[in-house]
Amino acid sequence: MEDLYAVIKLKLESNLRLLEDKPEETIESTIKALWQKALGIAMSAEKATNLPLVELSDQQITRLHQLVEKRLNGEPLAHITGRQSFMGIEMLTDKRALIPRKETEILGKAALHLCEKIAKEKSVISILDICCGSGNLGLAIASHHENTMIHSSDLSHEAIELANENISFLGLNHRVKAAQSDLFLKFDSADYWGKIDLIVCNPPYISTSKVSQMTSEIAANEPAMAFDGGMVGLKIIQKLIQESPKFLTRGGWLIFEVGVGQGPFVIQLCEKSNYYNQIKSYTDNTENIRVIAASQSKL
Ligand SMILES: C[S@@+](CC[C@H](N)C(=O)[O-])C[C@H]1O[C@@H](n2cnc3c(N)ncnc32)[C@H](O)[C@@H]1O
């Protein structure tokens, strides 16, 4: 077993390019996740990394070598395993939506913190998860906070299909619903106006020109629509800032992720809109603003 591990480790160390935006994928966690898959168990790298290795049969060893080849040919690890961990929860993942990123846990955790605040005044918290992709944010919030009702939406039909599979996979059908919509279009009715306590969104925020320069592993396997934020990357963010207040309760929060370097300008956009009084930002461990939260004060 140790020899097999050492052979694969050497092969991956010499040939695998680890991606910065998937820091949970190390050589060790990659081997362990593929090892589980060879055993017939679908498991994320983050979960597999904590498990000991077990003996493989000859057939499983052949399977493991095939899986390693797939990974070296550029197939994302999360697509090979079919799982990605997000905020400690195993979720289904495939080509239909963005693979949830570790950095988005800053947004998920900040959103949960706001839920705790809101829960002091409300027994059920109404949440919109806009641009939901695989459904990860809404589902993580619902899993960690019982008193939440979540409507998730995405422009991509395929992403909504996957989000619905994740809702069933996690047994959250009673509290999370997913539907296709161009931003707020589906919610533009009296049922939602002024009734939402929290809008959470991880929007596309990369400029169109940079999307075309992304690493081939990402470009070939994850939907461009998940990244493309228009000419300067702020097309969706500007709409979010303008359109959210109509749906938020007075004092309700809009919280969303921004790209590295966008924070200060986006905070100004929130201030200039005159819709929000409190504006908070959350940074990553290198002090870049990655999340902005704004509380609706006008409507
Ligand atoms: C950065 S991904 C986020 C996915 C997921 N929430 C996550 O955190 O991994 C952005 C998502 O926005 C969706 N999207 C792009 N334009 C949209 C629009 N106009 N309305 C709704 N969703 C949109 C994409 O399909 C994609 O799923």
pLDDT beyond 80 at 8: yes
- And the tokens for 182? 């161009």
Average pLDDT for 221-226: 96
- What is the pLDDT confidence band of residue 2, given thresholds at 50, 70 and 90? confident
Pocket test for ligand 1, best of 44, 155, 291 (most atoms within 8 A of CB): 155
Beta bridge partners of 180: 154
Give helix then strand counts, H and E, for the chain.
12, 9
| pLDDT tens, residue by residue, 154-185 | 999 999 999 999 999 999 999 999 999 999 99
Strands (DSSP E) found in the chain: 83-86, 89-92, 125-130, 148-154, 176-180, 196-201, 248-257, 276-283, 289-296
CA of 175 to the centre of ligand 1 (A): 21
The domain 2-81 is placed in CATH, from the list 2.60.40, 1.25.40, 1.10.3470, 1.10.8, at 1.10.8
| CB distance 281 to 264 below 8 Å | no
Q: What is the pLDDT of residue 299?
A: 57
Q: How far is CA 185 from CA 25, 171, 179, 239, 252, in A?
A: 37, 27, 11, 12, 19
User: Would you mind telling me the total number of residues written for the chain in this entry?
Assistant: 299
DSSP-derived secondary structure letter, 67: H
Q: Provide the percentage of residues in the chain whose pLDDT is more than 90.
A: 98
CA of 4 to the centre of ligand 1 (A): 40
User: Atom 4 (ligand 1): residue with closest C-alpha?
Assistant: 133
Pocket test for ligand 1, best of 154, 184, 228, 243 (most atoms within 8 A of CB): 154
Average pLDDT for 13-24: 94
Which ranges in the chain are annotated with CATH 1.10.8? 2-81
How many angstroms separate the CA atoms of 180 and 33, rounded?
Answer: 32
204 Cβ inside 6 Å of ligand 1: yes
| pLDDT tens, residue by residue, 233-255 | 999 999 999 999 999 999 999 99
159 Cβ inside 6 Å of ligand 1: yes
Q: Provide the percentage of residues in the chain whose pLDDT is more than 70.
A: 99
pLDDT beyond 80 at 186: yes
Strands (DSSP E) found in 135-288: 148-154, 176-180, 196-201, 248-257, 276-283
DSSP-derived secondary structure letter, 275: -
Specify the amino acid at residue 4: L
Q: What is the pLDDT of residue 298?
A: 67
Give all strands of the β-sheet with 125-130 in edge-to-edge order. 176-180, 148-154, 125-130, 196-201, 248-257, 289-296, 276-283
Longest dimension (CA), the chain: 66
Which ranges in the chain are annotated with CATH 3.40.50.150? 102-296
Mean per-residue pLDDT over the chain, rounded: 96
CA of 72 to the centre of ligand 1 (A): 28
| CATH number of this structure's domain 102-296 | 3.40.50.150
The model scores a pTM over 0.85 = yes
The three-class DSSP label of residue 168 is helix
| CB distance 297 to 250 below 8 Å | yes
Average pLDDT for 55-59: 96
- And the tokens for 143? 């899993």
